[in-house]
Each structure stands twice: as C-alpha cells, then as structure tokens.
Amino acid sequence: MLEKTQKIKQLGFSLPLLLILVLTLAGGTLAFLKLNSIPKSGEILSEAKGPDKTPPVRSNGLPTGALSSGTTQVDAKLTTNEKATCRYDTSPNILYKNQKWIFSTTGDTSHSTLITGLSNGTSYSLYVRCRDRKANVNTDDFLITFSVENGSTISDTTPPSVSLTNPLNGSTVSDTSVLITATASDNASVSKVEFYVDSVLKGTDYSSSYSYTWDTTPYLNGSHILLAKAFDTSSNSASSSVSVTVNNQTPTPTLTPTPTPTPTPTVTPTPTPTPPPTTGDYLLMPRSQLLSLSTTSTAWNNVKGIADGDLGTPDLKNQDNKHDVKTLAVALVYARIGNTPTMDYRTKARNAIMSVMGTEQVGAYNSILSLGRQLGAYVLAADFINLDGADDETFRAWLKDIRTKELGGHGRWIVLTQTHGDSNNNWGSFAGASRIAASMYLNDTTDVEAASKVFRGFTGDRNAYASFRTISSTEATWACSQSTTLYTPINPPCYLSGINVDGAIVGDIYRDSTPLQWPPTSTGISYTLESLQGLVLQAELLSRAGYDSWNYSDKALKRAADLVSRDGRWNYSSVSYHVPWILNKRYGLNIPTRSPASYGRVFGYTDWLYGN
C-alpha cells in the first residue's frame, strides 16, 4: 500500500517517494524497494492536475426561515468557493442560460440581489445556478427558501390624510406650466400620491415632496378639477380636490381687408407639415418645457444640422459610435417642430431605433460598456417620437431582455444591471443611465427603485446601497475611508495628506494606477468626466421619476464638479462638453461651457436643452 503520493522527476519519469511495490508476475514473488533519500538530480513535484471541470460550490444561502410580517423586500445572498456568475429562477430545473434573473451583485465569490414585492403569509423559493470563469455550470439547483409571517389579525384600515395645497381652490391659472403640490401623512407610511386632471391620471410621485407639473396647453380655458389621491402601504387611500379656472391667453388674429381675387395659375400644393404631439410629458422633461425652447439659436441649429445629416451605422459593439446620439437629435427635432415638407423626422428616427436591435455583441471585453454608452439615447429617442404599435412592442420586448442579457467578455461586468450595481467607475455610471432610461420607458417602477438605491449608494449613502466591488490598495489611497471595501464611489468631504479630495470619483480619478497626488493625472480627470456623463443623466431621469437625486449625499454631483473645478480642466474632451450645462442649470454654478455642446456618450445637446 502506498501512503504518500509525492513524486520525483528523474530520467523523464516519476517514481513513488517512499515505497515502490513491485509484483513480479513470474513466480509470484513480491519485492519491496525503499527509497531513503531523494536523489540530487530529482525534483519534488506536486500531483499532476487535469483541466478544471468542477462547477462552483454554492453555500450560505440567505435568507432562511420566516421573515417578520410586513417585510416587503429582502436581499437574497449566497457564496461560492470560486469567482462565478449566478442566476436564479422561481421554478426548478431550469438550465442556467435560461434562468430569468441574474444576481445584481455577482462575478466574485459573494452574490446578492434584492427581492421585492414580498407579502405576508407567503413562501418563496429561489433556484440558483452559477457558472465559473472556466464556463463550468451547475446542473442542479441550490435552493434558497423563506417565507413572510402573517401579520396581525388587526389590519390597518386607517386611510392617509392628504391635502392638495397648490393651486388653491377657486383660483385662476394663466401659466402654461402649473406646479400641483400636495401634502400627505399616515399612521404607518404613505406609499405614493397620484395626481389627476379631470379624472384622468397624469402623474405619480413616490417622494415626500409630492408634486406634478401640469401642462395646461392642451386644455380649454374654463373650469377643471385637480385631484390628489394618497395611498398608504396597506393600500388605503384618500383624496383631496380643487377646482381651478384655466385662462391662457390666445392670440387675437389681425384682420386685414380681403383683396379682390385675381386668377392664379394652378400649382401643386405644398405638403402640410405634421406637427409634434401636444399632450403628455417626456421621460426627460415636460413637453411644455421642450416646446418653449428656441428654434433660432446656434444651439438649435446644431441639433437640427445633425438631425438633417447622415446618422452613420447602428453598432452597439462600438463604444465610440455616435449613431445613438445622432438618432436622439432627430427625435428632439421632431418633438420640437414635427415633420417638415422636406424631412420626415419621425420616420427617420423610427428607422434608426429599429435598426439598432441585434447589433449588440456577445463575448467582447467592452460589450457592456458599449451598451451602456448608447442604449439610453435610443430609449429617449423612442420616447420623444412616441414609438407605437408593433414597433413599440418589438422595442419593449428587446429592451426588457437586453437589461439582463449576459453579454460576457469582461469577466466581471457582463450584464447591464449587474454592472450598475458593482462598478464604482464610468462603466457603472453609463450602465446606470441606460438602465434607468430603459426601466422608466418600460414603466418598471420596481427596477427604477432598485436603480435609485444604487445611485444613492454611489453618491455616498452606504445605508441605501454598498455592494460595490472591492478596490485595489492603490485605488484606496484616494478614498476618504482608506479602505478597499468600506468606501463610497464618490468621496464625502475630507482631506488626505493635505489634499482636498471631497467629491473625487475614486474608481476613475486613480486611473493610470496612480496613487493619491495633486493634480490628478490627465487620464484621471478624463475618466472623471466620463463618469459624470452617465451620472448627470441618471440624476436627471431619477429626478423626473420623483427622486431627490440632485441633492443626494450633500449634493454629491456638485461636489464632484467642484473637484474638477479645483483642478481646472473642464471640457477636457469634446464628448464631455455637454456636462457643464446641466450642472450649471441644476446647481446654479458657473462652470465654463462650450457651444455647441453637441453630443457625448448616451446624451448631449444640453446647451439647447438647458442653456436657457
């Protein structure tokens, strides 16, 4: 019997180190040879290993047992013995590649995802499978099972209190844009306030400063009923309404004498331009705000010039492609002036949007970065032209899938939503901008809420979200916490070695693997501006969805802008020219600007959109 398996390399073959058992077949003689020492020419070798064909080992699944009644969401977690990407489904025996959801934080050995919509007295089962970096996939389910306890038999039947505070009952409004505000309170918690005009739902606000901007342009002068309806977490509701009178000014036509008609030759009539829609709001801004923008300024001429030109080729594989933001220009022009006798802007934008589907690339290192840099612009364009019918159904189905589609290639950041929840640099900021745009377009309020928490965590609120990647020790020299794990992607106010690093975007400013220094490298500033491109669009969209995003973490984006101002290298590259315009608008700053701001990544034209 052999008791050790160490081997020596000698003369091109291996021998047992302690004992060789030789069975001599002829005569059945057993002979034993004991090696007392390793020859000088020998070399100790480890046991030879074959290729890794073992899938990840999963353990430590959470939660377990019964959660307290009233729990509506929980983080599902597990660990693996090696770096892996984990997915889950609510049905068993589903192949890994076909499971519906990917963990929002995955790619390492710890995996987590937020499960929402839980209800009392219900049991839940998550069936988890993972794949390691050698493409070994679990063929069995790892079960995470838990339940939510039944609540008290005494249910909450107390409705919230609500009061519509502006405009006042009986007042007259003559502004085309009217801010409707309400206050609401409850013995437990207010979940949302809905705003109605003449019994038609116009908007929903989930924040505590309940408001809706009412575009009165499409409404006839006269009496209209405004109503605010508040809901609590037990679905109790209450309403408050007021009656207001719309009295918008209408231009009085100037009458001139009608001349005596004279015969005129028959001419071919000029096609009648198609005006843009006049009702409903856009994801990015109120329709009335966009319709008030100039059509004579240099900034407008730039947008229209791009819209009138060649858009190039759609290509979600190319992270530097501009087809997306050029398509956005076409949609903006249509939303502002409609079609003209010489240009069908809506069809041009529609064709561009429909042509991009399927151009994403699976397996490239930058697949997710390229997707994040472009997807949001197509979503905004679809919203601005009111994509409808079968086109909209096709686009929505693709959009829903692409948010969680595993494109691979990078090794860690392989899914749009997962990248947003893990990356602490511009990969995450662009992924977040496109994720939020897509989820708002799909009216996926659950994912918008989840994305808002990631954004809030990025700005510095670890209580909202803190599952970002572990950073390197060099990166950590820029972090106020000096920790590779207990940091926030945007620094809080602090000094390190006498350097004011308040607002530093840690994952980007350290680029070139440069430890703390002042001024930062040019690459560090360039990547910081890249991050801000995605972050300002995230903030603007979340603000439109009712979140106080521009003020999160003591105005984190302003503090990030202040850091660039201390360095002085604003407008470092043309793709960032649009960033200062929106920061100046939202924070009242005076950052140097350039016009035309043109387009950057995923967004642009802010000198026209916000320059006024």
pLDDT tops 70 at residue 492: yes
Instruction: Give percent of the chain above pLDDT 70.
Output: 86
161-246: CATH architecture: Sandwich (2.60)
Q: How far apart are CA 510 and CA 73, in angstroms?
A: 36
Nearest to 581 by CA among 537, 522, 544, 519: 537
The pLDDT value recorded for residue 208 is 67
Residue 36's pLDDT band (boundaries 50, 70, 90)?
very low
The Cβ of residue 253 has, within 10 Å, a number of other Cβ atoms equal to: 6
Who wins on pLDDT, 365 or 310?
310
pLDDT tops 60 at residue 272: no
The pLDDT value recorded for residue 8 is 36
pLDDT tops 70 at residue 12: no
The pLDDT value recorded for residue 6 is 39
pLDDT tops 90 at residue 279: no
**CATH number for region 58-148:** 2.60.40.650
Per-residue pLDDT tens over the stretch 198-236: 888 888 877 667 888 888 877 888 899 999 999 987 889
Per-residue pLDDT tens over the stretch 395-436: 999 999 999 998 877 888 999 999 999 999 999 999 999 999
What is the residue-averaged pLDDT of the chain? 86
Per-residue pLDDT tens over the stretch 151-188: 754 567 889 999 999 999 999 988 777 889 999 998 88
Per-residue pLDDT tens over the stretch 126-153: 999 999 989 899 999 999 999 999 875 4
The pLDDT value recorded for residue 542 is 97
The topology under which CATH files domain 287-610 is Glycosyltransferase (1.50.10)
Residues 6+ apart with CB under 8 A from 134: 51, 52, 53
The pLDDT value recorded for residue 49 is 58
pLDDT tops 60 at residue 602: yes
Nearest to 190 by CA among 160, 227, 151: 160
Helix axes 445-459, 552-567, angle to 10 degrees: 50
- Per residue, the 3-state secondary structure of 23-89, as one string, reads EECHHHEEEEEECCCCCCCCCEECCCCCCCCCCCCEEEEECCEEECCCCCEEEEEEEECCCEEEEEE
pLDDT tops 90 at residue 75: no
Who wins on pLDDT, 343 or 152?
343
373-to-174, 320, 526 alpha-carbon distances in Å: 41, 8, 15
Who wins on pLDDT, 82 or 2?
82
**Is the separation of the CB atoms in 330 and 345 below 8 Å?**
yes
Domain ranges for the chain, please list them.
7-45, 58-148, 161-246, 287-610
pLDDT tops 60 at residue 253: no
pLDDT tops 70 at residue 389: yes
pLDDT tops 60 at residue 444: yes
pLDDT, average across residues 310-326: 94
Domains 58-148 and 161-246 share a fold: yes
